[in-house]
Amino acid sequence: MTTTRNRILAAALLPLLAACGSDTETGGSPWDVLARTAVEAAAAKTAPGAPAAQPKSPEEAAAEALRVNPGPLIRASFELLNQNPIMAMAGQNGDMRTYMTPAEDALILRNGLLVGTRGLGQDLSVAVAQTEPLIRAGRAGSGQRTMYYYTGDGLERPLQFACTVGAGPKPGVMVEDCEGHGASFQNSYLVQGGQVPVSRQWIGPALGYVTIQTLRP
């Protein structure tokens, strides 16, 4: 288990290191493009005599992000944080992708499944799920999920959950029910060809659920 966890941690961190020195053809890294757009919009709102801008709807925000950023994008809706940022892919190593906001809050995904978070506070260091093959194949079964969390002293604390996987209420949706340590949660995945374009996944006790929607693969 330690070897598996270390491989996943290394794969997750490589995109972050590689992305720091990379530029896109549009004149900056993907999250730099989003950041510049946000800064320009803020400047326009605060210009003398400028009318107050109306907040964009989620659809308008997604359309704007797709227009200014040519790379892969996701929208993440954090239920407890009441935030719905659009996140750009900052780096990729194999099937592991790191998506960031302009503030460098990050989600690390493996073909749509949540592997870790960064910058959100009480982050999920890494998740190791024996149920992943079942979810991608659309098969029922059971397995253990181990989730490692950063503690206040900078160390990791593992939490293990017993999980069962089965078909959800709609075609193509798989549901993962997990229990352990006096807690229970349910993840839902829309599976298409082994990929997970839409999901609702539990990050942890402090951060709760995040719904992840692929805007551009």
> Long-range contacts made by residues 125-131, C-beta under 8 angstroms, separation at least 24?
125/9, 125/149, 125/150, 125/156, 126/5, 126/8, 126/9, 126/12, 128/1, 128/4, 128/5, 128/8, 129/163, 130/163, 131/163, 131/165, 131/176
Element (H, E) at 107: strand 106-110
| Tally of structural domains, the chain | 1
Contacts of 45 (CB under 8 A, 6+ apart): 52, 53
pLDDT, averaged across the chain: 82
Number of residues that make up the chain: 217
Whether pLDDT at 16 is above 80: no
Average confidence (pLDDT) over 136-164: 94
**Which CATH number belongs to the domain containing residue 6 in this structure?**
2.40.360.10
Give the torsion sign (CA, 113, 118, 102, 61): positive
Tokens, residue 142: 């059971």
Sheet strand arrangement including 208-216: 113-118, 106-110, 96-100, 86-93, 73-78, 208-216, 195-204, 183-192, 173-180, 156-167, 141-150, 124-129
**pLDDT per residue as tens digits for the range 68-90:** 788 999 999 999 999 999 999 99
Q: Taking the CA of residue 100 as centre, how many other CA atoms within 13 Å lie in the half-sphere pointing to its CB?
A: 22
| Domain of residue 199, residue span | 2-216
Contact partners, residue 82, CB within 8 Å, separation at least 6: none
Distance CA 71, CA 89 (A): 7
Per residue in 88-114, pLDDT (tens digit) is 999 999 999 999 999 999 999 999 999
pLDDT in tens, 151-179: 878 789 999 999 999 999 999 999 999 99
Q: Check pLDDT > 60 for residue 209.
A: yes
